[in-house]
Amino acid sequence: KILPQSTSPGTHHPQCSGLLAKQYGNICSLWGGPYHIIILSGYQAVKQGLIDHSEAFADRPVTPFVLASTQKRGIVFSNGHTWEQQRRFGVVTMRKLGLGNKGMESQIEEEAQRLVEFFAETKGQPFDPFLPIMRSVCSVICAIAFGHHFSNNDQDFLELVKAISIALKFGSSIFYVLYEGFPHIMKHLPGPHQTALSALETIVSFARKEIILHKENRNFHEPQDFIDFYLFQMEKRKDDPNSTYNEDNLAQCIADLFIAGTDTTSASLTSAMLLMANDLDIQDKVHQEMNEVFGSLPSISYKERKKLPYTNAVIHEIIRKKYAFLFGLPRQCVQDVYLNGFLIPKGAVIFPDLRSVLLDPEHWEAPEDFNPNHFLDKAGNFVEKDAFLPFGAGARVCLGEFLAKTEFFNFFTKLLRTFKLEPPGGVEKLSEKSVIGVSVHPASYKICALPRIRTP
C-alpha cells in the first residue's frame, strides 16, 4: 500500500494533525524539506507504532540543529550503542536514586514547601505562578543531578533557568526552521539561532562545573546523585574500549534532564493552577478529599495517592487535557516495516501524535472537556486508562516519567491543601488559551492564593 499523502505545508497547530487524520487517515505522510514524515494519529495507530513495533522506531532523527547542539551525545538525541548504554544507565540510576522512596521524595517535598512559602508571601494578591513553579521544578532536577539545591537568588542558577527558557522558545521559531533548512549558511550568520546554541552550551557548562566539583570530592562508596553514579560507572568501565561513559556524555545527559524535565512539568503545573482557579467546585472536592483522608498530617507521599482516587483522577485529567507537548518527540524508522498494511520506509521520521491519543473520542467520553470522571468508575474508584500516554511508550518512553508524576503529585497536593486558588478580583474566569512552542503553555495569567484553614 502507498501511504495517503498530504501536501499541507505546516503542522504547527494542535488541531492540524487532527485535520490531516480526518482527510488522510490515522497513518499519513508528508514531506518537510528532505524529510519523509509519517504522522500517527489516535490510540490504535500510535500503539501499533510505539509499542507493537517499538524496536523499529527506536531512533531519533538527527537534524542539523540537533547535531550542532548535542553532537549525538546524551540520552534524548543519541542513537545506537551510545543511546543504549546511556539510556540503560539512566533507567538503573533513577531507580537507585530512590525515586518514589522517602529519600528522594523528601527533597521534592522540601522544594514543594519552598514553593508554598513563596505563594504565602504574595498575601492573597494577584501574581503569575509560572516563574516560581519553573524555578522549583528546575531545583528538583538540581537535587537529582548534583545532590543539592540552589538558592532562588543564586546568579548561576538564575542563568540556568534563563538558558533553559531561551533554548525551548527557539524550537518554535522561524530561525529554527531556517537553521534546519540551511545549516551551512545559518551557522555563519548572527541571530537567535546563535543565542539558542549559546544557551544550550550554558546548560552543559553548568553541568561541567558540577562534574569538576564531584571529581574533586569523589564519593564512590556512597554515591548520592546522578553525577556520583556516573563517575563510578566511568571508573568501572575505563578499560572497556566499547564504553561510551565519558564526561561529554555525562554533561549532555544532565542537560537532557534539565531540558526535558523542567519545561513540561512546569507547563503542566501552571495549567493545573489555572484550571483549579477556574473550577472552584473541583478544587474544593480535591481539598475536601485530602482533608478527610489525611487531616492535619503535614504531607502526603506519592505512594499514598491510591487513598485519594478523586485527587488522582483530577491530576491525570489535567495532564491529559493540558498535554504539555505539541505532538511528542519524533522517532526515526530503523528498518522497513509494515504498519496496518502500509509500508513505513527505513529512514522515515515518525511523529506519534500523543495529543490525538489523549483526545481520541474512542477512548474518552468527552475528550474536549475537562472531566475527572474520565478516570473514575461509577463507584468513584480510580481507573487506569490504556490511552493515557503523555509520556510516550515503547523503547523511548520518557525516562523521567516516574519523577514527573511524583513531582506533580507532591506540588499539587501541597499547594491545594494550603491555598484556595482564585482569579483576581473582577475576573470571572481566566483565559485558557495556550501559547504554542516546543511545549504548550497556558497564556500568561495571574491568580490569588488565599490561605485555607486546615480542619483537624
The answer to the question of whether 28 is labelled as a binding residue is: no
CA distance 316 to 385: 10
Nearest to 399 by CA among 77, 56, 182, 169: 77
Per-residue cell: 336? 522497513
First CA to last CA distance, the chain: 65
Task: Answer for the pair 270, 412: CB distance below 8 angstroms, yes or no.
Answer: no
User: CA–CA distance from 80 to each of 77, 218, 322, 384, 433 (Å)?
Assistant: 10, 30, 33, 33, 40
Task: Answer for the pair 65, 240: CB distance below 8 angstroms, yes or no.
Answer: no
What is the β-pairing status of strands 35-41 and 349-353? parallel
Looking at the DSSP assignment, which residues form a beta bridge with residue 422? Answer: 448
Nearest to 360 by CA among 26, 23, 52, 48: 26
* Element of type H or E holding 404: helix 401-418
Residue ranges at the known binding site: 398
Residue ranges at the known binding site for heme: 398
